[in-house]
Homo-oligomer: A and B are copies of this chain.
Amino acid sequence: MMDKIVYSPVGIIHTGFHDKKDAPIQGVFAKDARGEIEIFKQYADGLEDVEGFSHLILIYHFHRSDGNSLISTPFLDDETHGIFSIRHFNRPNPVGLSIVKLENVKGNILEISEVDILDGTPLLDLKPFIPFFDHRDNAKTGWLNNPNIDMARGEPGKHRSK
């Protein structure tokens, strides 16, 4: 069994969110939140044909994670839950996942929107979002019911107060 797994960032994500309290909880509720992905030059050839996809899956390192709690309170609830039942950034491995909208490709720069990511975030991987693979109908969402979801809608920065 591998004990340590070592990655190197393939790029960096630039956004207008410099502080955790300013970032949207989820990108899908932040249609106007824009940013750029800078893919490092040595990986730019890997972007071929990416412009044909409207949405991308970003896997990144929560570089501002400041702890690791197995039980935590998410931004959308007042109750505690296990860390694997929530999306909080203080995780055993602080790996983040976001689906963003691809607006434009300019060389090694990807202009994106629907962004919930802090400025300066190291990007680990980029995958095409493919509904045929990534949608699941009738998924049960446990503690996260509709009233919680309603809290998440609205303007960036309004709801991430904790």
Q: Name the contact of A132 in the complex, choosing from B83, B136, B141 (C-beta under 8 A).
A: B141
| Cross-chain contact of A85 among B2, B50, B99, B132 (Cβ < 8 A) | B50
Please determine whether A63 and B128 come into contact, CB atoms closer than 8 angstroms: no
Q: Are A5 and B2 in contact (CB under 8 A)?
A: no
The reply to whether the CB of A54 lies closer than 8 angstroms to some CB of chain B is yes
Task: Kindly report which residue of chain B lies nearest to residue A43, judged by CB atoms.
Answer: B92
Q: Are A128 and B99 in contact (CB under 8 A)?
A: no
> A78 within 8 Å of B by Cβ?
no
Digitize A70-103: 1 where CB-to-B-CB distance is under 8 Å, 0 elsewhere. 1100000000111111110001110101010100
Q: Is the CB of A6 within 8 A of B8?
A: no
User: Closest B-chain residue to A56, C-beta based?
Assistant: B84
A132 and B146 alpha carbons, distance in the complex (Å)? 9
Alpha-carbon separation in the docked complex, A127 to B129 (Å): 17
Beyond A1-B12, A46-B71, A93-B7, is A142–B51 a contact (Cβ under 8 Å)? Answer: yes
The answer, yes or no, to whether A45 is at the interface (CB within 8 Å) is yes
In the bound assembly, the distance between CA atoms of A93 and B86 in angstroms comes to 24
Apart from A3-B9, A5-B8, A84-B125, list 8 A-B contacts with CB within 8 A: A2-B63, A50-B85, A52-B85, A54-B140, A87-B128, A87-B133, A129-B139, A134-B134
